[in-house]
Amino acid sequence: MAVTAALALSIASPAWAQVLTDEQRSAAKTANADPALAPDLLLSAKDMAWWRDAKLGIFVHWGLYAIPGKGEWHMFNDKVPAAEYAKLSQQFNPRHYDARAWARLAHEAGARYMVMTARHHDGFSLFRSPSSYGGYDSVRSAAQRDLVADFVTAVRGEGLRVGLYYSPMDWRFPGYFQPKELPDNAQLMKRQTYGQIEELMRNYGRIDILWWDGGWLAHKGTDADAAGFWESDKLNRMVRRYQPKAVINPRSGWQGDFDVAEGGSPITGPIRARPWEKTFSINRSAWGFTPDKNTLGADEVIVLLVNAVVRNGNVLANVSPDPDGRIPADQAKTLHGVGEWLKRHGRAIYGTRPGPLQPVDNVHGSTQSGDSVFLHILSWPDEALTVPITGPVHDVVNLSGAEVTWRKEPNGIRIMVPPASRGAAVTIVEVKGGNAVR
Ligand code: GLC
C-alpha cells in the first residue's frame, strides 16, 4: 500500500535544521504574504470586531507528542521514523480528557476564545478524518473518539469562540522535504490538506477561527513562499464557502485577517495598524507537553497581554495537556492568576482600542473605550508620571490599588500612585473624560 511505502522512507533532515533553535525557526516563517492575493476573502471590519474585542485566547497543543513529553517537534528533532512514531497512536488513550474542564479553565482565565491543534506537523489528526493519509486519526487510535468534536461542543457550551489549528504540512510525507524531487508525494500531502480542511470546516458547525501553521515547504523560506504550492487562495476560498465569517490567520501563505507574532519575547514598538496576535506557550520548554514545569507566571502573561493590547494586539496563550488529557496544575494556576487580574482590570482590556498615546517601551501604553483612557503603567520613572492628556478630565481612578492623586499641568496630567497602591506587574489608571490628546 502507498501508505507503507511513504512511511518507510525516512525523513530527510537538512543539515541547517539542526543549527536553528525553535525560536529562530519560527522567526524564519514570518509571513511576507502578497496583499494582492485574494483580498476579497478578507473579513470586514464588522466581522473582525468580536476578535478585536476579545483580547485573550487559550491555545492548546495536544497530540501523540504528549506521550514522550519532549515537545511537539519530537518526531522531527529526534529523527523518529514515521512508522515508529505512529505506534504512539495505539498508546494514546487519554482517560482524563475532559474538554469541558479545559473550556471552564479558559473561561476562568478570562479568555474569550480557544484554539486547539486539530492536527500538528506529525500528521496525527485529533478528529474523525476519512481524508487522513493512512487513517491516522484519534478515532482509529487507542482513544477511539473524535477529540475535536468534544472540544468544539465544550468550548461553545462555555460561551467561548471556537478555533482550530491545522498544519497543512505533514512530516510523514517525503515530498514535504523534497517537493521538486517527489512531486507526486507532495501532491498527496496537498490532497490530504484539502480533504481535511473540508472535513473540519464542514462537520463541526460554526468555526470562529482557523489557525494555520506550517504552510512553508521543506522547512525553508516563509509560509508565503509556498502559497503557490498550496494554492492558498483556492484553499481559503474553500474555507470561506463553509465558514464565511471565520477569522483566518496568515500562516497558509494567504495574507489572512490578522498577523501573528510568535514566541515569548517582549513586545515593543508603536501601535500596529493591522490587528495582530502574540502567541506564546505558558510552558516555556515547548508548545506540547513536557514534564519539567518550566512555566510562565501569571504576571509574565499579564505583561505580555498588556503590551499586546496597547499595540492593537491579542494574546493567544498556549497550554500543553499531558498524555492523559489534563492541563498541568502549574499551567492552570497561571491561568487562574490571569483570570483574577482580568476580573479587576478587564474594563481596561476587553472591547478597548489602543491609544490615544503611543506606547513607551517598558514604561506605559494606553487603551481607550467610550470616554475613558486607560493608562497601563509598567514602570515608574519617577514617583509620578506625566502624560500628554489635555482633555476635560473629570476623574482619575486607580484600578490596581487604593490610592491615586492627580493634577492638571500645562503639558498634560500628572498622576501619582504610591508604591503600595501599584499593581505587581502593571498599574492601570483610568482617566475619565481624558479622551483627547494634545
Ligand atoms: C511553530 C512550531 C509549532 C507551533 C507553532 C505555534 O510554528 O512549528 O510547533 O505549533 O509555532 O505558533
Q: Are residues 274 and 398 in the same domain?
A: no
CA gap 212, 165 in Å, rounded: 6
Same structural domain, 247 and 153: yes
* 222 and 130 both lie in a single domain: yes
Find the residues whose C-beta lies inside 6 A of ligand 1: 26, 61, 72-73, 213-214, 262, 279, 287
Q: How far is CA 131 from CA 55, 239, 249, in A?
A: 34, 16, 23
Which SS3 state, helix, strand or coil, does residue 165 take?
strand
197: part of which helix (H) or strand (E)?
helix 183-203
d(CA 184, CA 166): 22
Query: Do residue 113 and residue 191 come from a single domain?
Result: yes
Q: What is the pLDDT of residue 22?
A: 57
Q: Per-residue pLDDT averaged across 351-356, rounded?
A: 94
In the structure grid, which three cell numbers stand for residue 171, read together?
A: 512530516
Name the residue range of residue 229's domain.
5-348
| End-to-end CA gap in the chain | 71
Residue 189 corresponds to which amino acid? M
Task: Assess whether 104 and 200 both reside in one domain.
Answer: yes
* Residue 329: CATH number of its domain: 3.20.20.80
Give the H/E segment covering residue 364.
Answer: strand 364-369
For residues 72 and 61, give the distance between their C-alpha atoms in angstroms, rounded to a whole number: 8
Work out whether strand 395-398 and strand 427-432 pair parallel, antiparallel, or are unpaired. Answer: antiparallel
Using the 3D structure, point to which of 301, 327, 348 is the last residue of a domain.
Answer: 348
CB 38 within 8 A of CB 233: yes
- Kindly give, in sequence order, each residue whose CB lies less than 8 Å from that of residue 105, ignoring residues fewer than 6 positions away: 58, 327, 332, 335, 336
If we measure between CA atoms, which residue out of 108, 163, 92 comes closest to residue 321? 92
Q: Is residue 190 part of a domain?
A: yes
What does DSSP say about strands 412-416 and 384-387: parallel, antiparallel, or unpaired?
antiparallel
What sign has the CA pseudo-torsion 169, 171, 173, 177? Answer: positive
Neighbours of 28 (CB within 10 A): 13
Pick from 110, 138, 113: which is nearest to 124 by CA? 138
Q: How deeply is 391 buried, as exposed, middle or buried, from its count of CB atoms within 10 A (0-12, 13-18, 19+)?
A: middle
Q: Looking at 313, 348, 383, which one is the last position of a domain?
A: 348
What is residue 269's predicted lDDT score, i.e. its pLDDT?
A: 97
Long-range contacts formed by 21-25: CB under 8 A, 24+ apart: 22/73, 22/286, 23/263, 23/265, 25/219
Out of 29, 77, 117, 213, give the residue to mutate to test ligand 1, the one with the largest number of ligand atoms within 8 Å of its CB: 213
Same domain, 414 and 329: no
- Measured in Å, residue 396 CA sits from the centre of ligand 1 at 42
Which of 377, 294, 346 lies closest to 69 in space, CA to CA?
Answer: 294
Place of cell 500596529: 272
**Residue 361 is part of a domain; what is its CATH number?**
2.60.40
**Looking at the domain assignment, is residue 437 inside a domain?**
no
Q: Which residues does 11 contact at the CB level (< 8 Å), separation at least 6?
A: 75, 76, 79, 81, 82, 171, 174, 177
| Residue 332 CA from chain centroid, whole number | 17
Based on the structure, what is the number of domains in the chain? 2
Residue closest by Cα to atom 4 of ligand 1: 287
What are the cell numbers at 245? 465569517
pLDDT digit string, tens, across residues 195-237 = 999 999 999 999 999 999 977 788 888 888 888 999 999 999 9
Domain-embedded: residue 438: no
pLDDT in tens, 412-432: 999 999 999 999 999 999 999
State whether 312 and 424 are in the same domain. Answer: no
Residue 323: inside a domain:
yes
Picking from 282, 316, 348, the residue at the C-terminal end of a domain is 348
Give 329-353 pLDDT, tens digit per residue. 999 999 999 999 999 999 999 999 9
At 281-339, the pLDDT tens digits run 999 999 999 999 999 999 999 999 999 999 999 999 999 999 999 999 999 999 999 99
Per-residue cell: 275: 490587528
Q: Are residues 136 and 63 in the same domain?
A: yes
Per-residue pLDDT, 9: 36
Q: What are phi and psi for residue 367, nearest 5 degrees? A: -125, 165
Q: Domain for residue 419, yes or no?
A: yes
What pLDDT, in 10s, does the model give residues 82-124? Answer: 999 999 999 999 999 999 999 999 999 999 999 999 999 999 9
Q: What is the DSSP letter of 59?
A: E
Instruction: Identify which of 282, 287, 314 to mutate to test ligand 1's pocket (most ligand atoms within 8 A of the CB).
Output: 287
**Lookup: cell for 159:** 460561551
Nearest atom in ligand 1 to the alpha carbon of residue 59 is: 6
Does residue 52 surpass a pLDDT of 60? Answer: yes
Q: How far apart are CA 190 and CA 175, in angstroms?
A: 10
Same domain, 46 and 163: yes
Based on the domain organization, do 405 and 267 belong to the same domain?
no
Atom nearest to 281 CA in ligand 1: 6
Determine the atom of ligand 1 nearest the C-alpha atom of 260: 12
Whether 423 is covered by a domain: the verdict is: yes
433 pLDDT tier (thresholds 50, 70, 90): confident
Grid cell in block for residue 120: 500538528
pLDDT at 25: 61
What is the value of pTM for the model shown?
Answer: 0.93
Residue 24 pLDDT > 90: no
Residue 23's pLDDT is 57
**Count of CB atoms situated within 10 Å of the CB of 401:** 16
Residue 386 inside a domain? The answer is yes
Ligand 1 centre to CA of 213 (Å) is 7
Protein residue with least CA distance to atom 1, ligand 1: 26
Regarding whether 130 and 25 lie in a shared domain, the answer is yes
Burial of 409 (0-12, 13-18, 19+ CB in 10 A): exposed
Q: Does 315 share its domain with 422?
A: no
Distance CA 349, CA 369 (A): 9
Q: Helix, strand or coil for residue 185?
A: helix
